[in-house]
């Protein structure tokens, strides 16, 4: 796989697949610029070499063609400020406007194309659409790890139309850090698996059971484990069909000597609301009419002690409904424990998605070893699956 540092972009027009799928508020202002900041070094390398950069991305999930809220035009002002230049914007990602702007692009300049997913051909992996995109540049760079698990036109299919295919800095760092955790983790190794559904995380959990010393399970999926152990969960999130899976995880953990940790207390609420009546509940019996929305203080203490004494920490998924301030304490406390472990010398990988948002919202982004920009892609890579976007760069 060619990497950025082994390639000279002088005089080249680099067509760069970036991941600018960032959250916007109702006024189309960017609320989390993690993914935007991450790709800046890749673009700077291309420009510094004397090349130009043509950026392509998706944003949101447009249902039927162009829509204002999903336009990448909303990203232009941010890019102008980040690169201290006027970034050109094409009103389409293919066609006359995009072609004319790409053709006239000079070394040191940046062009942003409109949302790829305004065309249904992008997600279908359409070869003709990929070929049209490919004609805009001389060299292909993929720095969108967050979409590397999708066999889309711009992430995988397009690579076949280029002699030179280069792995960007974000993609390279994501792969290097994931490999470090999977293949070279210092012990003790602790994985914290949060989030709502056992079914979303079971493959990564099964992989981790042969690698970790401690496996902390929290968030909504902990209640399926409560039920599997004979507890009751009230109106908490529950995947009845995953109870056998939970029992299997518990059994494998015993066989492999993994310290499987579940919450010992929970903050429970009458309703799924920040302002709901709430109280602390101990054990795995949650009363009827109540739902678990966060871990309690004793769980925080037990989890934090294990995390702080680890040499490697992988965290994927919040421990509660951290969007609600009254039920965010567990997630924030776990984040603080990961930071303390890192300061003591541990390697900490934050696995994208909500965990990354929690770390960044707390201002801890620079206090952990690495914050992944790809939630689903990281999980699939760690599950041992081939990522089409990575395979295309290796072909």
d(CA 313, CA 303): 12
Nearest-angstrom CA–CA distance, 292 and 268: 4
8 Å CB contact between 49 and 9: yes
Exposure class string for 208-231: b at 16+ Cβ within 10 A, else e = bbebbbbbbbbbbbbbbbbbbeee
HSE of 394, CA atoms in CB hemisphere, 13 A: 10
Calculate the CA 39 to chain-centre distance.
14
**CA 189 – CA 316 distance, rounded (Å):** 14
Lookup: tokens for 182: 């999977």
Structure tokens at 393: 């760069």
SS3 (DSSP) at 68: helix
CB 330 within 8 A of CB 342: no
- Give me 16's structure tokens: 């760069």
What does the alpha-carbon distance between residue 232 and residue 223 come to, in Å, rounded to a whole number?
8
- Do 99 and 13 form a contact (C-beta atoms < 8 A)? no
Q: Is the bond leading into 188 cis (omega within 30 degrees of zero)?
A: yes
- Describe the crossing of helices 353-361 and 329-343 by its angle, rounded to 10 degrees: 80
Round the CA-based radius of gyration of the chain to a whole number and report it.
22
- What's the token pair of residue 240? 């009845």
Residues with a catalytic annotation lie at 35, 197, 353, 376
């Amino acid at each position: 796989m060619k990497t950025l540092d082994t390639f000279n972009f002088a005089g080249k027009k680099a067509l760069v697949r970036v991941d600018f799928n960032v959250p916007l508020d109702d006024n189309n202002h960017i609320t989390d610029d993690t993914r935007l900041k991450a790709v800046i070094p890749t673009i700077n390398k291309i420009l510094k070499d004397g090349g130009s950069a043509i950026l392509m991305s998706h944003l949101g999930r447009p249902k039927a063609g162009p829509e204002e809220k999903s336009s990448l035009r909303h990203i232009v002002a941010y890019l102008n400020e980040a690169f201290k230049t006027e970034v050109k914007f094409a009103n389409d990602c293919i066609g006359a406007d995009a072609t004319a702007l790409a053709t006239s692009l000079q070394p040191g300049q940046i062009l942003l194309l409109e949302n790829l997913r305004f065309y249904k051909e992008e997600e279908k992996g359409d070869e003709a659409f990929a070929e049209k995109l490919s004609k805009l540049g001389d060299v292909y760079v993929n720095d969108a790890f967050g979409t590397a698990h999708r066999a889309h036109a711009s992430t995988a299919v397009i690579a076949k139309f280029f002699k030179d295919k280069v792995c960007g800095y974000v993609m390279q760092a994501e792969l290097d850090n994931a490999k470090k955790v999977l293949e070279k983790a210092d012990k003790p190794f602790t994985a914290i698996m949060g989030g709502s559904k056992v079914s979303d995380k079971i493959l990564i959990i099964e992989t981790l059971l042969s690698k970790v010393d401690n496996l902390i399970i929290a968030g909504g999926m902990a209640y399926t484990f409560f039920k599997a152990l004979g507890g009751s969960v009230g109106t908490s999130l529950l995947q009845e069909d995953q109870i056998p899976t939970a029992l299997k995880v518990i059994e494998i953990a015993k066989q492999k000597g993994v310290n499987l940790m579940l919450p010992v207390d929970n903050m429970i609420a009458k309703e799924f609301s920040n302002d709901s009546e709430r109280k602390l509940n101990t054990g795995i019996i949650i009363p009827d009419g109540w739902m678990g929305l966060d871990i309690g203080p004793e769980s925080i203490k037990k989890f934090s002690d294990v995390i702080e004494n680890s040499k490697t920490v992988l965290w994927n998924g919040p421990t509660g409904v951290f969007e609600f301030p009254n039920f965010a304490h567990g997630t924030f406390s776990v984040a603080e424990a990961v930071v303390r472990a890192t300061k003591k010398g541990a390697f900490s990988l934050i696995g994208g998605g909500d965990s990354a948002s929690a770390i960044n919202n707390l201002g801890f982004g620079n206090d952990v070893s690495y914050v992944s920009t790809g939630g689903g892609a990281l999980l699939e890579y760690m599950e041992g699956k081939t990522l089409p976007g990575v395979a295309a760069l290796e072909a």
